[in-house]
Amino acid sequence: MAKSVQERSAKAAQRRLAVAEKELRHKVRPGIEQAMERICARGKTPIISEVLQIAIMKMDLMSDAELCEFLSYPRHKIVISENVARYFLSQSLAKARRDPGDEIIEPR
């Protein structure tokens, strides 16, 4: 005889308790969801929770330095060309010559 929904739910709840399973919920924006779908497709693993569990286990195996580098957001690097630096310096010096700003006046 087939089990009722309540019986199946009770058995699943007992299994979760036995292995100390915990449900984590996390809200994501559409871009993250799309990225997860692409990762699942590329890895041929259709279940997002499996992909996340594998990623967490692999991150746990990383050294501290590897993990810090992996978890850091990519930042844009600002590169100032030599010409721009020279121009900025010349303009700054010209401005300082025209208006030196606050000058230190020694007491008498």
Residue 6: alpha-carbon gap to chain centroid:
40
Instruction: At 87, list the tokens.
Output: 């121009």
* 45-99 tens-digit pLDDT: 889 889 999 999 999 999 999 999 999 988 888 899 999 999 999 998 888 888 7
- 14 CB neighbour count, 10 Å cutoff: 9
Q: Pick the residue with more confidence: 104 or 65?
A: 65
Q: What is the pTM of this model?
A: 0.54
Nearest to 49 by CA among 15, 21, 68, 70: 21
